[in-house]
């Protein structure tokens, strides 16, 4: 059974650094893209970026490029999302999610099959 288990809720002050984690099990971690998705309070889902732990190749949404760092440690099957200096506007729930990707009908197919339980990050002075 595929499982993505995320680290617990965090309360931080503006300017502090933070790294949250996503521990994967039940599949070959290095061979599937892992994505991060933000959900601000009362708002919709926003795709932040993805990483392929086997390379590791990393892609960011322009909205999040330079604001966060996505990394992975394939030795312990764990992906990370990191901030060097948090802002109040980073307060949100963050989800990790495993991407399925393959060729179908001559086109690339992508979807997000498995999701972590979410990590609530609260940034407040």
Partner 1 sequence: QSVLTQPPSVSAAPGQRVTISCSGSSSNIGDNYVSWYQQLSGTAPRLLIYDNNKRPSEIPDRISGSKSGTSATLGITGLQAGDEGDYYCGTWDRSLSVWVFGGGTKLTVL
Nearer to partner 1, 17 or 63 (CB): 63
Q: For residue 111, state whether it binds partner 1 (rule: CB under 8 A).
A: yes
Where do we find the tokens 């599937």? 32
- 4/27 Cα distance (integer angstroms): 10
- 110/105 Cα distance (integer angstroms): 13
- Sole binder of partner 1 in the list 62, 66, 75, 125 (CB under 8 A): 62
Q: For residue 87, state whether it binds partner 1 (rule: CB under 8 A).
A: no
Where do we find the tokens 């795709």? 47
Shortest distance, CB of residue 47 to partner 1, whole angstroms?
4
- 102/124 Cα distance (integer angstroms): 42
Applying CB under 8 A, which part among 13-21, 24-32, 45-53, 76-84 lies near partner 1? 45-53
Cα torsion 32, 76, 96, 114 to 10°: value is: 50
Applying CB under 8 A, which part among 16-24, 54-62, 72-80, 83-91 lies near partner 1? 54-62
Q: Other CB atoms closer than 10 Å to residue 77's CB: what's the count?
A: 19
Q: For residue 59, state whether it binds partner 1 (rule: CB under 8 A).
A: yes
**Comparing C-alpha atoms, which of 64, 70, 105, 71 is closest to residue 87?**
64
Q: For residue 40, state whether it binds partner 1 (rule: CB under 8 A).
A: no
Instruction: By CB under 8 A, name the binding residues for partner 1.
Output: 35, 37, 44-47, 50, 59, 61-62, 95, 97, 100, 104, 107-118
């Amino acid at each position: 059974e595929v499982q993505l288990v995320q680290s617990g809720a965090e309360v931080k002050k503006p300017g502090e650094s933070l790294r949250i984690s996503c521990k994967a099990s039940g599949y070959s971690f290095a061979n599937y893209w892992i994505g991060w998705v933000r959900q601000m309070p009362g708002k919709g889902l926003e795709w932040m970026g993805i990483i392929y732990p086997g390379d590791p190749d990393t892609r960011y949404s322009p909205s999040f490029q330079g604001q966060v760092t996505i990394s992975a440690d394939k030795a312990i099957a764990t992906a990370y999302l990191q901030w060097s200096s948090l802002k109040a506007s980073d307060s949100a729930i963050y989800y990790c999610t495993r991407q399925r990707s393959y060729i179908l009908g001559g086109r690339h197919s992508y979807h997000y099959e498995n999701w972590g339980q979410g990590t609530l990050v609260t940034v407040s002075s």
